[in-house]
Amino acid sequence: MNLALHTGNLALHHVRSDDFQLKWKKLYARCPWVTAFQHPDFVTPWYELYQTQFLPVIILAEAEDESLTGLLTLAFCKEGKQLVGAGERQAEYQGWLEAKDAGNIFIRDAVKKIRNHFPGVDLRLKYLPPDIPLNWILDNREYSRIFSLRSHPRPIMKINEAAMSSQRNKKTYRRNFGRLKKSGDVQFETITRHDQFIRVFDELCTQYDFRQGTLYRHMPFSSDPAKKLLYLELHKRGLLHTTILTVDGEIAASHSGLLSNDSTLHMGISTHAPSFAAHSPGTLLLSMLGVHVVKEKISVLDLTPGGDGYKEKFATEHDVVFELTAYGDVKARLRKEAYLSGKRFLKNRMHQAGLRTADAWAAMGKLSSFKELGFHGLLARLRDAAISPPCLYRYCADKPRAAANPLLISKDSLSDIVRFDPSGSPITRWEFLNMATERLERSNHLYSFRSDEKLFMCCWVDARPAGSNQQLAGHASAFSENAVVLFDLYVHRQVKDEELVRRFIEQILSELTDCHKTKAIYFSGALSDELQAEIKHCGFSDLPGRRDDLPAVATRRRYAELFRKGRKWIQK
């Protein structure tokens, strides 16, 4: 057996070679534990797209007839100075390829080769594919001093027609589906054509970023442009399985995951539109997906490790997968394992106290919010603290005239929301996303205007009918009449054109008066003197009243609740 290690351009040269790709696919077909994440159609585009951040590293073994007998695709992280499996966080499973009857000779020799070429560097593979052989580690005393194998439960859903039909017959499914159907025509669709995938993928990325930003203060596609290109390439190559749930053509939920050997579908990116969140569209889509993949002869839905509660609702059984770390030396293992043990302990205690990881991120983000807001943002917070209690305004004018050159105003646009610029604003981007999520889920609507890839202006509207718990913010009693309430007008500090602000408000009013002819229109909120003048110029008149749920106040209440939970956890 001839063993070789290649890095950088030489590794890329091998990976791109048609001859090597053919050998690779033959070995892939002979390896019993492979997943789509070890397929050349996944690894090759990932190497190409991420080579500025990761140095490609491949270890390969060839027989005397030049056939490929073993392959391990890795990447050297230039910032973290560690070796990871090709795909890094984009790959759910990372491991090596070797024929079943090869006796683990390749991986033993490959580990020695790696340690000689990268002395003192950690190697991390998360997670190893199910059923990959590990006895070569367990039987070696030397490896036990520097290797760490950490087990993780993996929920899976066995696909069969009876079980999937049972899922759809559950009371919760029938109730949510019935409510969603009242919103419009509900359709479940598999996106097979690549041109169709290109058309919908921007919206899927925006939904995913919006949700991740709300929960974890991180927007994966916005912060990593290569991620979007990778998914487009994976769908083009036939590895990505994508389904969507639509309501009158609007995407309510979606799932995109890799398909291994046409038999196992891995959970990947799940998204949903917050305006449909009350009907649990993501859960509905998974139920429909289970029924649909029966027809595609897919036998397993891999829900992937992670401990998310919704996965347990769909799991029919569990198995175990492992995370492998080969440390550079014994001291590194002791130091880093102690850190990870402490981290896991804190995470478990948080879970016992009813806190989510997202709550910890929110608390840490709060500590750094002053830095994110910047000087102008701090001034805005001080300004808002000094503003007198917000007043109410009632619209008393006739319908505004239609504008000759109307602005491109969007309604409930997640794409606009994620482009919120916190500079000069009294709240951070993450606070804004969290507030937007809560309001969209309450069936409020957002009218927005974007320019230069920034959210320039937006205004919230509550147009729910009387009797649906609609009330003016800050007032205890609900409206005694059908009413439309505009609130929280936001204008970016770069907007200096008063006429532009006036056109924005009048265009919203024009649409609202058309849609709600019999309803009174109010505005509620704290405004600067300049914006108060614009509101009144558009036809609003003062009404007595005040408001005490401004975003800053609501945010303080959320963190007070977080503090209460944290204190309870510490007392335990």
Among 69-78, 344-353, 368-377, the range scoring the smallest mean pLDDT is 368-377
SS3 79: coil
Residue 451 pLDDT > 80: yes
pLDDT at 371 (0 to 100): 53
Does 402 score more than 80 pLDDT?
Answer: no
Residue 467 has a pLDDT of: 46
Say what the pTM is. 0.85
Tell me which of 224 and 547 has the higher pLDDT. Answer: 224
For residue 367, the model assigns a pLDDT of 53
Least confident residue range of 19-23, 329-333, 388-392: 388-392
292 or 172: which leads in pLDDT = 292
Residue 297 has pLDDT above 60, yes or no: yes
What is the pLDDT at residue 465?
61
| Percent of the chain whose predicted confidence (pLDDT) is above 90 | 60
Give which of 473, 419, 472, 471 is closest to 448, Cα–Cα: 419
The radius of gyration computed from the CA coordinates of the chain, to the nearest angstrom, equals 28
Mean model confidence pLDDT for the chain: 86
Q: What is the mean pLDDT of residues 266-283?
A: 94
**H or E element at residue 251:** strand 250-260
pLDDT at 554 over 60: no
Q: What is the pLDDT of residues 49-99, one digit of tens each?
A: 999 999 999 999 999 999 999 999 999 998 878 999 999 999 999 999 998
Higher-pLDDT residue of 226, 527: 226
Q: Decide which of 494 and 372 is more confident.
A: 494
Can you spell out the DSSP letters for 395-426?
A: E-SPPPPPPSS---EEES-HHHHTT---TTSS
Band (pLDDT 50/70/90 cuts) for residue 100 is confident
pLDDT band (50, 70, 90) for residue 373: low
For the packed helices 357-367 and 369-386, what is the interaxial angle rounded to 10 degrees? 70
Strands of the sheet containing 409-411, edge to edge, are 409-411, 445-451, 454-462, 483-491, 520-525, 391-395, 540-543
| Residue 1 pLDDT > 80 | no
> Residue 397 has what pLDDT?
85
Span of 5-19, 184-198, 243-257, 281-295 with lowest mean pLDDT: 281-295
Separation CA 365–CA 213 (nearest Å): 12
- Residue 551 pLDDT greater than 90, yes or no: no
Q: Is the pLDDT of residue 564 over 60?
A: no
Domains in the chain, CATH or no CATH each: 2-148 (3.40.630), 160-298 (3.40.630.30), 388-558 (3.40.630.30)
CA-to-CA distance for 197 and 200, rounded, in angstroms?
5
Of the two residues 355 and 110, the one the predictor is more confident about is: 110
CB 489 within 8 A of CB 459: yes
Report residue 101's pLDDT band, with 50, 70 and 90 as the boundaries. confident
Does residue 365 register a pLDDT over 70? no
Lowest mean pLDDT among 72-86, 251-265, 335-349: 335-349
The pLDDT value recorded for residue 562 is 53
Residue 474 has pLDDT above 70, yes or no: no
* pLDDT given at position 422: 87
Q: How far from 308 is each of 207, 239, 572, CA to CA, in Å?
A: 19, 25, 24
Report the pLDDT value the prediction gives residue 340, as an integer from 0 to 100: 78
Measured between alpha carbons, how far is 220 from 92 in angstroms, rounded to an integer? 15
- What percent of the chain has pLDDT above 70? 85
| pLDDT tens-digit series, residues 374-395 | 555 555 555 554 444 567 899 9
Supply the pLDDT for residue 383: 52
Hey, how many other C-beta atoms are within 10 angstroms of the C-beta on 542?
A: 12
**Residue 166: is its pLDDT beyond 60?**
yes
Residue entry with tokens 């000087």: 375
Q: What is the mean pLDDT of residues 179-185?
A: 92
Where does the pLDDT of residue 338 fall: very low under 50, low under 70, confident under 90, or very high at 90 and above?
confident
pLDDT for 546 equals 43
Per-residue pLDDT, 518: 73
Task: Give 143's pLDDT tier (boundaries 50, 70, 90).
Answer: confident
Q: Which residue has the higher pLDDT, 142 or 486?
A: 486
